[in-house]
Amino acid sequence: MVDYAPLPTAVQLEVLSTALGERVIHDHRILGGLGGTMDVLRREYGDLVFLKRYWLPDGDEFSPAETEFRSLTLANEHGVPAPRPLWIDRIGLFPERAVVTEFIEGTILLQPSDPFDRAAQLANVLVQIHQIEPPAEDEAFFPILPIGQWPHEDEYPFADGEHPLRERVRSMRRRAKTSLPPETAVYLHHDYWPGNTLWKDERLVAVVDWEGGVVGDPAIDVACCAFDVSMLGLDEAASHFVAVYRELSGRPLPNLAYWALMAAGRP
């Protein structure tokens, strides 16, 4: 069960209206998601904006709102289809960490009419994401992963449970990790899959949920997305996604098999 935050109060909406330069009212709540509470607000002249409030970080952990806001800023600067960041709560307006972004009309496309075209679009946008180059002073936002480390690995106990292949897969992971070749690290979305993309007329119009950005092996994002496409029953489209990414990026992805094993063990 997701523990949603309360609806924004009249006072909070008034402060937000001043910050955004236009009166806003609460329109509706979007249910679902694991990272926080999502509300759609309506501006005075009819446009919608998106309010997202996150869990509170533990101790010195960096705020996911700060990471998302910075990630969206960089994504927009690099021409990646993503919502524009509009406001971040640095005044403690909400008990949670909060951002307001552009609202982009679109739907999740899990069963496309042309799975190969969707796979090619996913690959093309991921190449764009991996071309983002955070400046050195952004290291606080985007930690650099050691070779072989899955992003936030300590937060996600692997879900192989009592599966009959559990020990075999774990053994393969351990062996593979000892011989991973070095790979040029890139900015990673970290949660890139069809469920975090919005589509209109079967064209990819936005990538969402940017609060997990890190720097690491590009094959992490590729393996994660390919695995999720396969879980939709689209194995050939998943392979096409990988092939198009390799062609467009020029990256051979030498560690893809290792990251595929890691992706298969996630919850």
Series of mean pLDDT values for 10-residue runs along the chain (267 residues): 85 97 96 84 94 77 88 98 97 94 96 96 98 92 87 58 77 86 94 96 97 95 97 96 98 95 78
The pLDDT assigned to 158 comes to 58
Among candidates 29, 26, 208, 22, which has minimal Cα distance to 125?
208
The pLDDT assigned to 60 comes to 60
DSSP 8-state code for residue 58: P
Among candidates 14, 30, 32, 12, which has minimal Cα distance to 22?
14
The pLDDT assigned to 84 comes to 98
The pLDDT assigned to 161 comes to 64
- Output the CATH code of domain 10-102: 3.30.200.20
The pLDDT assigned to 17 comes to 97
The pLDDT assigned to 61 comes to 66
9 to each of 5, 24, 37, 217, how far by Cα in Å?
Answer: 11, 12, 14, 43
Where do the domains of the chain lie? Answer: 10-102, 115-264
Contact 197, 72 (CB under 8 A): no
10-102 against 115-264: fold identical: no
Torsion of CA 75, 219, 250, 195, to 10 degrees: -50
CA distance 242 to 219: 9
- Output the CATH code of domain 115-264: 3.90.1200.10
The pLDDT assigned to 152 comes to 62
pTM: 0.92
